Amino acid sequence: MTAAPEIGSARLRSEDARLITGQTNWTDNIQLPGLLHVAFLRSPVAHGRITRIDAEPARGRPGVIAVFTGADFADEQGSLPTAWQVTEDMVLPDHPPVAVEEVRYVGEPVAVVVARDRYLAADALEAIDVDYETLPPVLDMDEAIKEGADLVHADKGTNKSYEWVFAAGDIDAAFRDAPVVIERRYVQQRLIPAAMEPRAVVCSVVGDEYTLWSSTQIPHVLRLMLATVTGIPEHRLRVIAPDVGGGFGSKLQVYGEEVACLLLAKRLGRPVKWTESRSEGNASVHHGRDQIQRLSLAAEADGRIRGLKVDLLADMGAYLMLITPGIPLLGAFMFNGIYKMDAYHFTCSGIFTNKTPTDAYRGAGRPEATFAIERLMDELASELSLDPLEVRRRNWITHEEFPYDTIAGLTYDSGNYEAATEKAHRLFEYDKLRAEQADRRERGDPVQLGIGISTFTEMCGLAPSRVLGSLAFGAGGWEHASVRMLPSGKVEVVTGSSAHGQGHETAWAQIAADRLGVPFEDVRVLHGDTSISPKGMDTYGSRSLAVGGVALYNACEKVIDKARRMAAHMLEADEQDIEFANGTFSVRGVPDQVRTVQEVSLATFLAHDLPEGFEPSLDSDATHDPANFSFPHGTHLCAAEVDTETGFVKLRSYVAVDDIGKVVNPLIVEGQVHGGLAQGIAQALYEEAVYDADGNLTTTTMADYLLPAATDLPTFTTDRTETPATTNPLGVKGVGEAGTIASTPAVVNAIVDALRPYGVADVPMPCTPERVWRACRAGGAQEAGRAGGPEHSPRPGAGGGLGSAGGEA
Amino acid sequence: MIPGAFDYVRPSSLEGALTALRAAGDDGKVIAGGQSLLPLLRLRLAYPEILVDLGSVPELSGVRDEGSSLLVGAMTTHYDVLRDPLIHQHAPLVAAATATVADPAVRHRGTFGGSLAHADPAGDLPAVALAMDAVFVTSSREIPASEFFSDYLTSALEPDEVLLGVRLPKSYAGWGFHYEKFHRTAQAWAIVGVACLVQRSNGEISAARIGLTNMGSTPIRASAVEQAVTGGAANREAFRAAAESAAEGTSPPSDLHGSAEYRRHLVTVLTARALSKAASV
């Protein structure tokens, strides 16, 4: 009997029924006896000194149990951690979970109310009286680095946290006498992660045992960091991530609210819960992107790239959080994309501003890099009057050249850019669309057609620990898995990866079922609780499958190795003669002499008759540290109809051909690609965190921070090529971020391509109808790469009277 | 996103509702479907002390044929408006605009009267009511649409006055209609919207009525365009020329989704398009 292989099967996700119907414990659903509710008072000013806080009126409000200010916590709240010291002299300011003397962004916590219910807590916030002596806010990165600029952290004497440089090849030689030099300035606008489930924390203390439930991506990292910050011994702290409704990097964090809830439970001796509201979250969840990119590309007359210079200003926001300073540096190795070049020079300055801190957001550094190089490739094509696909062909690494050592110092193990592009080209009907484009241009159609290309790669599977060490990252990049063979033949898998919507419970069960030869239904996957899954590095950076999945694979191999010895004993055969396939051990050449893995498991449990010196357990665990990153790639093609009269952009078709190596579950991959595309397209067209001149966040509601729904997106055509990763036994690369990384430049390239005849060389993101319309009007007069613009009005006000909602929680 | 404390009553008769509102004075607020009011409460932008819910007042729901007009009950949901054959027959412009309101969930809870009484110039229905010369029937009087919308989020309704329904004249039978809504995402409010009714005879436009969404603190009639197209040819060139004056007399807002200048441009393009679609040319 040969079952269809589990790895590669498009199984429906077994966790979906409970997630979709809500028959589960989200953190906010958790009820404990005596539970109290927490609300944070947040700074309404971008920069100011707290001169007085009067919390007494709030303490007298009905149902209020306690009110604490930052000063009340000052002795024990510590400073929120940063795990990435990117340079030796990096400026790392103190970051109290609740502000004590000074506030540095709108939304920073300044006091905390604990009350009998959530409503009473929210009402009491209004009774806390705070006086601020306002200080000048630092809002513009270019201004922040000028001599004599106002300072976010006066005691540091600078707004620059660090400057980080990478250089390879002779960059001066590459630019000297270069026939073509393209110079551009692009802006990666600030984005606000919008996970479906807002952040939530519940904390209880019994004796000296603490339990913290949090809607987090990183229960293991969080436990260590919270123990370090609060002094609670690590072994007395249990962190649980129940079902978590998305994160996109925003829950890869150690938040002040988590620390505060621990301190509150400790002080009050009662369990507490905090759940953020959406508008509260928009101001206080860490933000993403926010870079100014100055780019220079030198090329030969035939389009071959000689060298690339990248100079970044990266907005850290007001403080460095868990991996804030490292995020733009994850892009440092990706600006060269899939292309060959002789020289590369990268500089990044991390800048403090009086805005919400930034940190990881889906793609984390790599979307920014991919956007830059893929936009530049289109600009180069335009400069040389070449088809943008042809320019890419002339520069990309060909499939015969793998493994390939890139100019940025990475070794791309595998890939086939030609195959993915050929497939995308065909599915897209590229030539037909080019013909239609020519026709519309000829006719002067007010609706022009543009074709956008993105031939991307990314580094996934974060990360080889030795590489992280060389980058001064504060942890390794391994992942852990264990497999428990239960006496009844069922299997429990424990993983250190921490699912928050991706479908690990299904995919991990498929891997275990495939390797162990047991039915899929017989595998249960456990995760997200430090008492159940004691070791892990959690889920981010498209690392789960390429690192955690491989750890599981290795653990399964160990189980089989043990079981083979036991089976040999049971079959009275030599271990070398035992074959294992489809869950069955047999003796080579004697096919009717078999023992199933379940039989072996039971016999091991009974332990009545074991081989000499055999430990009576098949259970195994494995900790996998990847030898290299993995490098998914793909070719994305986008067709956009641009209404030159209104500036409205309609995406007509979108083809995504991704090469993510071997696939465990094609349905999960499809979901990841669709969601990723929506998110990347949203950066191109819709999303932007906007601050006004005083540093108030104006996009506090969904009416002003626009996210697309299914109705706003085209039908995606997705397909794959399959070039297995050579650096792990599963051949997998990771897919969580691919769609997001690839799609943003594809969309903007399409818009610019549509408007080339109007003299347009760039439209700043998000490409709102007004910006597109203005770009058309400005035409040839447009300064290439100019971002922002005088039209930019920071006033919210989408309608419904919500327009003056700024800053309210 | 947590509202302040408020009291709540749900009377079962109109008289009960009026009594509750009179007792509340300036601190009372009528709630219908809640799709506009609840976000304001949750953002603590409004602090009524008592909400008077009209959901159990039976006579306020449904569409009634009154001979020369329809009376749309104030509590009729958008969803029910969209399903009503009388609306499709006699007021298809209302159906067209209602179909663009927010999303299905909102259309199931939100009401025709609530949306109009909210008097949001970015809402889709006020411009339609204005273009159609609808009449607002309240617990104490009848108010023509031209006098109903007095300012941003402000109608002519008194605090103790309840909107019972809206009378839509049937006089546009045979007119072409279109609602042109421009927004960045399907669920977003209109950056600009154009509600358009045209009467054609012999290749000419014999009458036109145009209401503009989000071009000022109230919905606005594009009177200059109406005059310019009336008596003129029903073709795109004529419409484009006439629509050049669509921004006349408007004072559109500047916000994150568009500057006033952009809106003044947009309204000319959209008005020309609305005319073309309404006139089927």
- Which of A624, A656, A674 is at the close of a domain? A624
DSSP state of A5: P
Closest Cβ opposite residue A795 in set B5, B122, B255: B255
With contacts defined as CB-CB under 8 Å, which chain B residues touch A123?
4-5
> Does residue A416 sit in the same domain as residue A442?
yes
The reply to whether A773 touches chain B by the CB within 8 Å rule is yes
Does the residue B229 lie in any domain? yes
CB contact under 8 A, B122 and A798: yes
Residues of chain A with pLDDT under 50: 1, 781-793, 804-809
Please give the backbone phi and psi of residue A71, each rounded to the nearest 5 degrees, phi first.
-65, -35
The interface residues of chain B toward chain A in range 208-227, judged by CB-CB distance below 8 A, are 214
Q: Which of B15, B152, B177, B18 is nearest to B88 (CA)?
A: B177
With contacts defined as CB-CB under 8 Å, which chain B residues touch A709?
103, 185-187
> Does residue B230 sit in the same domain as residue B198?
yes
The residues that bridge with B194 in the sheet, in sequence order, are B180, B212
> Does residue B161 sit in the same domain as residue B69?
yes
> Does residue B202 sit in the same domain as residue B115?
no
ipTM above 0.90, yes or no: yes
Question: What CATH code is carried by the domain that includes residue B141?
Answer: 3.30.465.10
The reply to whether B103 touches chain A by the CB within 8 Å rule is yes
> Does residue B140 sit in the same domain as residue B216?
no
> Does residue B161 sit in the same domain as residue B120?
yes
CB A333 within 8 A of CB A467: no
> Does residue A756 sit in the same domain as residue A781?
yes
The reply to whether A157 touches chain B by the CB within 8 Å rule is no
Best mutation site among A685, A687, A777, A793 for testing chain B: the one with the most B CBs within 10 Å?
Answer: A793
> Does residue A445 sit in the same domain as residue A529?
no
Q: What does the pLDDT look like over A414-424, one tens digit per residue?
A: 999 999 999 99
With contacts defined as CB-CB under 8 Å, which chain B residues touch A118?
2
The residues that bridge with A36 in the sheet, in sequence order, are A272
> Does residue A562 sit in the same domain as residue A659?
no
The interface residues of chain B toward chain A in range 251-270, judged by CB-CB distance below 8 A, are 253-259, 261-262, 265-266, 269-270
Closest chain B residue to A798, measured at CA: B189
CB A766 within 8 A of CB A744: no
> Does residue A428 sit in the same domain as residue A516?
no
The reply to whether A709 touches chain B by the CB within 8 Å rule is yes
Does the residue A808 lie in any domain? no
Three-state SS at A477: coil
> What residues contact B261, with CB distance under 8 A and at least 6 apart?
A791, B254
Q: What is the pLDDT of residue B80?
A: 98
Q: What is the pLDDT of residue B77?
A: 98
Closest chain A residue to B255, measured at CA: A795
Residues recorded for chain A:
809
Does the residue A15 lie in any domain? no
The reply to whether A770 touches chain B by the CB within 8 Å rule is yes
Does the residue A809 lie in any domain? no
Does the residue B37 lie in any domain? yes
Contacts A–B by Cβ distance under 8 A: 118
Distance from CA of B88 to the nearest CA of A (A): 25
Q: What is the pLDDT of residue A602?
A: 98
Residues of chain B with pLDDT under 70: none
> Does residue B102 sit in the same domain as residue B194?
no
- Only one residue has tokens 């809206």, namely B166
How many domains would you assign to chain B?
A: 3
Does the residue A208 lie in any domain? yes
CB contact under 8 A, B256 and A704: yes
With contacts defined as CB-CB under 8 Å, which chain A residues touch B36?
800-801
Going by their DSSP bridges, the two strands A272-275 and A36-42 should be labelled as: parallel
The interface residues of chain B toward chain A in range 113-142, judged by CB-CB distance below 8 A, are 118, 120-123
The reply to whether A704 touches chain B by the CB within 8 Å rule is yes
Closest chain A residue to B270, measured at CA: A646
Exposed/middle/buried for residue A145 (C-beta within 10 Å: 0-12, 13-18, 19+)? middle
CB contact under 8 A, B257 and A798: yes
Q: What is the pLDDT of residue A800?
A: 56
With contacts defined as CB-CB under 8 Å, which chain A residues touch B187?
709, 711
With contacts defined as CB-CB under 8 Å, which chain B residues touch A793?
254-256, 259
Which residue type is seen at B37? L
- Which of A571, A600, A624 is at the close of a domain? A624
Residue span of the structural domain in which A300 resides: 288-462+628-791+798-803
> Does residue B85 sit in the same domain as residue B101?
yes
At residue B244's C-alpha, the angle toward residues B243 and B248, to 5°, is 95
Q: In whole angstroms, what is the distance from residue A476 CA to residue A496 CA?
A: 13
The reply to whether A797 touches chain B by the CB within 8 Å rule is yes
CB A664 within 8 A of CB A767: no
Closest chain B residue to A802, measured at CA: B40
CB B214 within 8 A of CB B257: no
> Does residue A489 sit in the same domain as residue A438?
no
Best mutation site among B257, B261, B264, B271 for testing chain A: the one with the most A CBs within 10 Å?
Answer: B257
Distance from CA of B215 to the nearest CA of A (A): 12
Best mutation site among B2, B41, B116 for testing chain A: the one with the most A CBs within 10 Å?
Answer: B2
With contacts defined as CB-CB under 8 Å, which chain B residues touch A708?
185
CB contact under 8 A, A278 and B270: no
Q: In whole angstroms, what is the distance from residue B193 CA to residue B128 CA?
A: 10
Closest Cβ opposite residue A646 in set B39, B259, B269: B269
> Does residue A632 sit in the same domain as residue A620?
no
With contacts defined as CB-CB under 8 Å, which chain B residues touch A704?
256
> Does residue B93 sit in the same domain as residue B159?
yes
Does the residue A10 lie in any domain? no
Question: What CATH code is carried by the domain that includes residue A570?
Answer: 3.30.365.10
> Does residue B197 sit in the same domain as residue B214?
yes
Q: What is the pLDDT of residue A786?
A: 40
> Does residue A765 sit in the same domain as residue A701?
yes
CB contact under 8 A, A706 and B188: yes
Closest Cβ opposite residue B120 in set A278, A711, A800: A800
The reply to whether A801 touches chain B by the CB within 8 Å rule is yes
- Which of B129, B149, B169 is at the close of a domain? B169
CB A185 within 8 A of CB A295: yes
- Which of A237, A269, A284 is at the close of a domain? A284
> Does residue B121 sit in the same domain as residue B162?
yes
Closest Cβ opposite residue B256 in set A279, A796, A801: A796
> Does residue A102 sit in the same domain as residue A231?
yes
Does the residue A421 lie in any domain? yes
Q: What does the pLDDT look like over B136-183, one tens digit per residue?
A: 999 999 999 999 999 999 999 999 999 999 999 999 999 999 999 999
The reply to whether A769 touches chain B by the CB within 8 Å rule is yes
Best mutation site among B107, B184, B189, B212 for testing chain A: the one with the most A CBs within 10 Å?
Answer: B184
Does the residue A168 lie in any domain? no
How many domains would you assign to chain A?
A: 3
Round the CA-based radius of gyration of chain B to a whole number and report it: 19
Distance from CA of B17 to the nearest CA of A (A): 25
CB contact under 8 A, B255 and A798: yes
Closest Cβ opposite residue A708 in set B42, B118, B185: B185
Residue span of the structural domain in which B260 resides: 176-278
> Does residue B42 sit in the same domain as residue B74?
no
Closest chain A residue to B272, measured at CA: A645
A725 cis-preceded (ω within 30 degrees of 0): no
The interface residues of chain B toward chain A in range 151-210, judged by CB-CB distance below 8 A, are 152-153, 182, 184-191
Distance from CA of A150 to the nearest CA of B (A): 27
> Does residue A532 sit in the same domain as residue A578?
yes
A611 cis-preceded (ω within 30 degrees of 0): no
Max CA distance (Å), chain B: 61
Question: What CATH code is carried by the domain that includes residue A102?
Answer: 3.90.1170.50
Does the residue B184 lie in any domain? yes
Q: Which of A705, A708, A707, A685 is nearest to A697 (CA)?
A: A705
Q: What's the token pair of residue A188?
A: 């990666």
The interface residues of chain A toward chain B in range 236-255, judged by CB-CB distance below 8 A, are none
Q: What's the token pair of residue B276?
A: 């073309």
Best mutation site among A192, A713, A770 for testing chain B: the one with the most B CBs within 10 Å?
Answer: A770
Does the residue B2 lie in any domain? no
> Does residue A526 sit in the same domain as residue A608?
yes
Closest Cβ opposite residue A699 in set B253, B254, B256: B256
> Does residue A73 sit in the same domain as residue A87?
yes
Question: What CATH code is carried by the domain that includes residue B241?
Answer: 3.30.390.50
The CA-atom distances, in angstroms, between A684 and each of A222, A708, A763, A772, B279 are 32, 11, 10, 12, 36
> Any alpha helices (H) in A444-539, and if so which ranges?
465-470, 504-516
> Does residue B119 sit in the same domain as residue B202?
no
